[in-house]
Amino acid sequence: MGKINQGILGGLSGKVGNVIGGSWKGIDYLRIKPSSVANPRTTGQVNQRNKFTATLEFLQPNKDFIKVGYKNYAIKKTEFNAAMSEILSNAITGIAPDFEVDYSNALLSKGSLSAALNPTFDVSTPGNVTFEWDDNSADGNAEATDKAMILVYNSARKESVYILDGADRSLTTQMLTIPASYSGQTIEVFMAFVSEDGSKVSNSSYLGSGTAA
């Protein structure tokens, strides 16, 4: 049995008829219990689920990266939900019902800090990926002490390796150790920057794909 604590327009807790009330992050909400659907697998529903699944598979291994990268967009939503919305809106490609993430448009970090300048990566050393970039610490709001956030995503295994507090922007290089078992497999490479105090982040840059040595 539901209770209405603050009048008909607020504070509903539980269920009244087909209306369900609750609170999340201090925000009261109401939602209607959905009616039964005669055909829950329409073409549109299947397509949306497939897009949702592709997005989840990509984001789940990168939750810690996203928690930093979307911290300024977690307004009445979680960082993960903010990233879900971004990817679903801007980085899903394919022909129904087969959808996949377009990594070149997939932001794992989103913010106003100056992004990496001319970032590249090298996979010639077994067990390592070496990131390099140009020092643009004098441009825009970039600082020499901004920290590199680097990430390697193994799409076949649906797993990632990353560093969230890497080398200073002014140092222009950072090495990331990856599992030896990645050898011969395709990896997708991303990087971003976070300010030293953690208050600002940049948009992530997609550096491309490569085959781990």
The string of pLDDT tens digits covering residues 77-88 is 999 999 999 999
Q: Would you say residue 7 has pLDDT above 70? A: no
Q: What is the pTM of this model?
A: 0.81
Write the CATH number of the domain with boundaries 43-211: 2.60.40.10
Where in the sequence of the chain do the CATH 2.60.40.10 domains occur? 43-211
Tell whether the model's pLDDT for residue 148 goes beyond 60: yes
- Whether 61 has a pLDDT exceeding 60, the answer reads yes
Backbone angles phi, psi at 208, to 5 degrees: 120, -175
Q: Compute the distance between CA of residue 131 and CA of residue 73 in angstroms, rounded to an integer.
A: 27
pLDDT at residue 42 is higher than 80: yes
Continuous segment of H or E residues that includes residue 68? helix 63-69
Share above pLDDT 90 across residues of the chain, in percent, rounded to a whole number: 78
Mean pLDDT across the chain: 89
pLDDT confidence tier of residue 3, bands split at 50, 70 and 90: very low
What integer pLDDT is reported at residue 15 of this predicted model?
60
Closest-CA residue to 70 (of 191, 206, 182, 201): 201
For residue 8, the model assigns a pLDDT of 45
Higher pLDDT pick, 42 / 3: 42
pLDDT tier at 17 (50, 70, 90 boundaries)?
low
